[in-house]
Amino acid sequence: MSHVRHYCVFRRRLAWDRFRHEVVSAVNILPFSEGGRRLQPRTSRKPECRDPERSLPMKRMKFGKKPFTAALCAGLLALSAWPAAAGADSPDNAQSKGPKKDNWKLVWSDEFNDGKIDPKKWTFDIGNGSGGWGNNELEYYTDRPENVKEKDGKLVITARKENYQGFGYTSTRIKTKGLFSKAYGKYEIRAKLPTGKGLWPAIWMLPEDNEYGTWAASGELDIMEGWGSKPNTVAGTIHYGQQWPGNTYTGKSYTLPNNSTVEDFHTYAIEWEPGEIRWYVDGVLYQTQNDWYSQSLYQPVPNTYPAPFDKPFHLLMNLAVGGNFDGNPDDSVSFPKTMEIDYVRVYDLVNRPYRDPIPPTMPKDPLPADARQPLPDGNLVYNGQFNQDDPSVPNLGDVPNTDYWRLFTGEGGSGTVSIDNVNGQNFAKLSIASGGWQPYSVQLLNDVSIAKGRYYKLSFDAKAAGERTMSVRLTGGASRGYAAYSPASNVKLTTDVKHYEMAFQMKQDTDIAARTEFNAGLNAQSVWIGNVRLVEIDGIPIDYDAPKTPLDGDGNHVYNGTFDQGDLSRMTFWHVNELGGASAEAKVFEDERKLNVVVTKPGKARSGNIDVQQKGIQLLQGMDYKLTFEAAALLPRTIEVELASKDGSVSYAKQRIQIGKSGVQTFAFKMNQARDNEAQLLFHLGDFPGWVKLDNVKLIRTSVYYEPGVVFYPLANGTFDGGLDPWVTATDSGGALTAALDGGEAKLNVTNQGANPWSGMFIQDGLKLFKGITYELDFDVRSSVARKIEVDLENSSYFRYLDQTVDVTAAPSHQHFEFTMPNDDTVSLKYFAGLIQGTTAVGADHQVWLDNVDLKVKNAPVKRPPRLIPDTSGNTAGQAMDLTFQDDAAWRSAVSGVKVNGNVLAPEQYALGSGTLHLDAGLFAAPSTYTVTVLANGYADASAVQEAANSDGNLIRNGDFSAGQADWLSWSDQGSQFTVADGKAQVQIYSIGGANWSTQLYQENIALKAGQTYKLSFNAWSTADRPIRLEFTNTGIPQAFFNVTSDSRAVYETTFTSQTDQILKLNFCIGNVVNGSAVTPADAHTLFFDNLKLVETAAPGGHALQNGTFDTDTSSWSTYVADGSDAALSVENGKLKIAFANYDGWFPWSTQVYQDHLQLDAGKTYSVSFEASATEAKDIIFSVENAADFNIKYLGATNISLTPGTQTYSYEFTMGASSDANAKLLFQLGSNNATGPHFNGQSVYLDNITLTQK
C-alpha cells in the first residue's frame, strides 16, 4: 500500500466533557491510506484498543517543523480504518442464525415468584388513551388486582366485561418505562394467551424517549401480537418511518406447529442487534428484519441507519379488547379472559461485539407477467391525463374520462370527482363536502404495479381552491394492511397549478395492485390533480450542495448540523477539504454523534488549511444572522468562521474564534450584499496538527423577514364591538355551550362540560400564520366559578402550535402568550371550556367571559387597520354597498386604494367617509360574495367579505338556477351527476349507496341571524318516488325529511329558527334515505329541484302533540343520529319502531326521537304518557324541554329501563311564568355508557304518546 503513514490511536469511549483526551496505556498502531483533497468519510466502527502490552512514553515528538507531545498523538484516534474483530463467531456469521446460546448473559428479569408485582420493575398505563389508544380499543386499563396480579409464579392479566369509568371492559397494560430500558440484546418472554374474537394480547416495546419524534419516527418493536380469532397464529412487527401519518411497518406472522395454540405456553423472543432484529417462537427463528428508516419532523433527510432502532426501548405487556387489530368481541366470547406470563428475561451479548449496522441492499425484482405493465412512454399510471373513456374499463361512477381511477371517502370525509379543463388539459377536480378527520378521509386512487428493489418517481400537477396541504404516497391495499411503500409527501397546494415530484425505492414485496394515493382529507378546499406519472428510475439522485430552504421548525439554515443524519458517515451535506498540502481525517462516532476532524499534516506556509464546508446556504440582503455551534480542541487553537459566495470570491462575513476543550461559540453578522441562495459556510480549522470537534451547528436569521402576503393581524373582532361574528361555538362529546354578547364581552354559557376539553368550544377559523414569524396572543378572561380553560391554535389536522391551560376566576385576568410558527399554516383559535384534563367537572351551569382577544405579529412593521363590517341592510345585488368601520382619521388619510375581488377600483367607484366606505352599485351586479380590500400606507390591509343578496330577500343564491350551477356544489361517492337544464337542477342517481349522504347537493355561506325565524320552500320531483333528507350543516337546526313524488308542481316547505348568528350550509342528502316507511329505490332515477327560497318569516305558533298513535306513519316525529348510530324509524303493528341495525351511538343523545313546536302555556299543568318496550333490556332518557335550548327543561331528564314487555309510563309537570310555542318531547336512546345492547341489532317500540293539559 502506497502513501502509508503511522500514527497513534487511543480508545474513544470517553465522555464529551473530558474531550476524549485521556491518555491510556493501550495503543494500536494502525495504517491508513491518504486520499484526495476532499476526504471521504470512513464509516467502519472502531474497537477499543486490544494490545495492553504496548505503551507510549510521554515525550516530545516531531511532526514536520512543528513539535507536539505524545498527548497530542493520543488525540489522533480518528485516523484509522478501525476494523471490526473477525473470527468464527463474528457478526458476519451471526447475521443469519444469531449468536450462540452461551453468548447471551442475563442482565434483567422477573420470574414473578414472590406473589407481588415489583414496583421497582413495573408501572402501568391507566385509562383508554386517546381514541382507544389510537386503535379504537374498548377497554379501560387499570392496576387493580382484579385485572393484574402475581399468582402461582406467574403474572396474570385479566380482561373483564364490566362497566367501569364509562367503559364496558377492563384490563391491564403493564410496562417498564422509567424503570428499565435497553438498546440491543435478547428479550425472552414465556406466556400463554387467551383466544376469542376481539382479544388482542401483545408483548412489545416502545422507545424510552422519543428522541426521533413522536410515533412512529422513534419506532415500535412488537415482539408478539396475537389475534384472538386466530388461536394458531402470532406476529412480529416493527413500526417506523415518519411521524404519523407518514409511518409504515413491516412484519411477519407465524403459525404454531403441531396444532398448538396460543392458549399453550410458548416462549417468544427477539434478538436485537444494530441493524438486525430476529424473531423466535420456542427457539425457532421465523423472521429477520434489517430494512427500516426514521425521519424526524422538519428534517431534510432520514436519521442515520439503524435509527430508530438504535436507542433504548422499554417493554410493555397488555391484553386489549376490541379495536382495529381483531375487531370487537362477539357473543361467542365469554369473559373474564386471562393472559399469563411465566417470566420475562433480558440478556446482553457477550463474547463477541454486536454486529455492525450495515444498510441492506436488495436486488431488483422483475414485474410479473400478470402485472399492469408500463405504457409505451414508461408511465405506470394508466389514464394519468384523465382523457380516457373506455366503456370496458371501470371508472368513477360513470364520470367520463376517469378510467382506472376511484374515490374513497370515509372517517367523516365526503366529496365527489369531476373532470375540469385547466390550462387546456383535463384535471380531476375533487369537490370536498367534508374533509373528515383523517388525511385519507377523501382519497383519489389509481392502482399500479411496482416491483421490489426498484426505484420510482411520481410526478403530478396540482392546485387547490385555497392554500392547503395534501398527503401523497404509494401504499398497499387491504391485503397488505395498507403498508406504506413510499414516505408520505405533504405537498403545499396553492391556487396556482404547480408541479410536484417524489422518488422512492420499493422495499417491500412486489405488489401488482399498489395504490397511488392522493389524500385530500382534513380540509374542505377543492383540489385539482393532473398529469400524473409514475416511472421507474435508476436511483434517487440527491444534490446535497443544492440551495437549501431554511428548515421548518427552528428555521435553521444549516442541514444536519447535529451530525446524525444521512448515510453511515453522518456527514451528509458536509465536506472536509484539504488545502495547500495539509492533510486531515474526519469521522463521526456513532455513540457520540459529533464531527471529529484530526489535522495530521501541515500544509505549505500561509496556504495550508483544512476547511469544513456546507454549500447552498440562503442569505437575504439586509438581514441579521446568528451562527452558534459547539467546538472543542485537544489543544487551544484559533479557527476562522466565514460565510462566502458560492465560488468563494466574495466574503460576506468572517470571524476568528479561539476554541478550547469545550464551549458554545456564537458569531453574529449582517448580510450586506445582495441575496445569495448558494452561499457557503466555512470553518477554517488551519493546518496545525490536532483534533477539533464540531456539533450542533445552527444558523438562524434573527431579523424578521416578511414574505409577500403576510397577514399581520389575522384575528377579527377580538373586542366584540360588532357582535360575535366571525366567532362560532361548537360542542362535542356531551358538552353544552352557547355564546352571547354581554356588555362588549363574549359570554360563554356552559351548561355541560361534557367528557373532553373540546366538548365546548369558542372558535375563530381561517387564521393564516407564516413560517419563522413570532406571534403574540393576548386576551382578558374571567369566570363565574373558579375553573381551568384551554386555549389552542391548531390546524385542520389538530396539530397544535399553541396549547395553554389557564386558571380562571371571578377576577378578570390578562393572559399573554408568544410562539413562533415553524411553517406556514392556516389555523383556528379555540377556547376549550369542556372538561379539562386533570380536573373534575364544576357541576353547575356557569359563565366564562372573554374580551380584548388579539392575535398579531410581534413588533409588526405596520399598524392595525380598523375592522371593515359588511353591509347587511339593503345589500342586494345591483345596489351600492356601505361598509362601516370604527372611524380612524389617521387611517383614512393613509388609504391609497380599494380592491374588489383583487381588482383595483378607480377613484370614482368608491368614497371613503367618516366610518363609512361607499362602493358603487355596478361592482355588485350579480348575487354573490365579494372580497373588499382597503390598502393604506403604513397599515396592514383591511378586508371584508361582502354578500350581494337577491333583491327579493331570498338568501339562497341562484335558487332558480338561471345562472346554471353557479353557487351550487354537489358530491357523490356513487358517481351521481349534477347538471342544470332548462333552468332546473337535476341529479342523476345511478346508485343510492349505503348512506343518506352518499349523494349531496348543497349551497354554502348562507348567513343566519340570531333569533330569526326562516321559511324554506322549493319545488322537487323525481322519476321514482323517494324520500330526501335536508341537513342544516354546521348549525343546531334539526334535519327535515320530505317524501318526493313525480309531481313537478309540488312545493315543500319547512320553518326553523336560528338561535345564533351563524353560517349555514344548506345540504340536500339524496343518497340512501329512509323516512319511516318511505325508502329510496335502488334503481337509477333522477331528482329535480327548482325555485329554492329561504326568507325571513314570523315565528310559528305551537301546536298540540300530533300522531301519538302511529296508525299509519311516522309523520310529525323527527330523529337526530350521530356518533355512529344507525337508527331508522318505521311503523310496525301500529307502533313506532326505532331499529338499530348495528349500533345506537356513543352518547345518550347520539340517537334522539322527538316532536317539537309543541304549545305549552304558562302556569298550566300537563300530563304526559306513553307505552314503551325494547327487544332487549335497555336504558333510555325521556324529557320535555325547550327545542332551542335543552337547558330549559319542563320535565327533567328521566331514566327509564325498558324491557321486552310493554309498560306504560306517566308523568306530570307544571309550566312556569312563561309560555313556550316551541317545546320538545324527547326520547334519548343512545349511549355506550348505559345498560343494554349497543353493538348488535335491537329495536325500541313507542306507542300511545299523549300530552294533555289538566
Complete edge-to-edge strand list for the sheet that includes strand 774-783: 735-742, 745-753, 846-857, 774-783, 813-820
Q: Which one, of 1100, 1109, 1108, lies nearest residue 1053 by Cα?
A: 1100
How far is Cα 744 from Cα 835, in angstroms, rounded to an integer? 26
Grid look-up 477554517 returns: 684
Query: 3-state DSSP: the chain helix, strand, coil percent, rounded to 5?
Result: 5, 50, 45
Pairing outcome for strands 903-904 and 895-900 = antiparallel
Q: What are φ and ψ of residue 440, in 5° steps?
A: -90, 10
Q: Which helix (H) or strand (E) holds 768?
A: strand 760-769
How far is Cα 720 from Cα 1061, in angstroms, rounded to an integer? 13
How far is Cα 441 from Cα 28, in angstroms, rounded to an integer? 61
C-alpha grid cell, residue 1087: 331528482
C-alpha grid cell, residue 884: 362601516
Q: Report in angstroms the alpha-carbon separations of 339 from 163, 171, 366.
A: 21, 10, 45
Quote the radius of gyration of the chain (alpha carbons, Å): 35
Question: Is there a contact between 479 and 517 (Cβ–Cβ < 8 Å)?
Answer: no
C-alpha grid cell, residue 1148: 345518550
How far is Cα 291 from Cα 1096, in angstroms, rounded to an integer? 65
How far is Cα 184 from Cα 862, in angstroms, rounded to an integer? 56
User: Which DSSP string do the residues of 786-836 spell out, in sequence order?
Assistant: -EEEEEEEE-TT--EEEEEEEEE-SS-EEEEEEEE-SS-EEEEEEEE-S--
How far is Cα 947 from Cα 874, in angstroms, rounded to an integer? 11
How far is Cα 1000 from Cα 973, in angstroms, rounded to an integer? 9
Grid look-up 366584540 returns: 720
Residue/partner pairs of 979-987 with CB below 8 Å, 24 or more apart: 983/1090, 984/1088, 984/1089, 984/1090, 985/961, 985/1088, 985/1089, 985/1090, 986/1086, 986/1087, 986/1088, 986/1089, 987/1070, 987/1086, 987/1087, 987/1088, 987/1089
Q: Which one, of 756, 765, 755, 754, lies nearest residue 729 by Cα?
A: 765
Q: What are φ and ψ of residue 480, in 5° steps?
A: -100, 10
> Catalytic site residues?
220, 225
Q: Which one, of 154, 513, 83, lies nearest residue 341 by Cα?
A: 154
Question: Is there a contact between 244 and 215 (Cβ–Cβ < 8 Å)?
Answer: yes
Beta bridge partners of 644: 651, 680
Q: In the chain, how many H helices and how many E strands?
A: 3, 80
- Residue 291 CB contacts under 8 Å (≥ 6 apart), including other chains: 250, 360, 362, 507
Q: Which helix (H) or strand (E) holds 373?
A: none
- Residue 1018 CB contacts under 8 Å (≥ 6 apart), including other chains: 959, 1051, 1052, 1089, 1090, 1091, 1092, 1093
SS3 state at 471: strand
Pairing outcome for strands 609-619 and 575-579 = antiparallel
C-alpha grid cell, residue 1230: 343512545
C-alpha grid cell, residue 577: 477539504
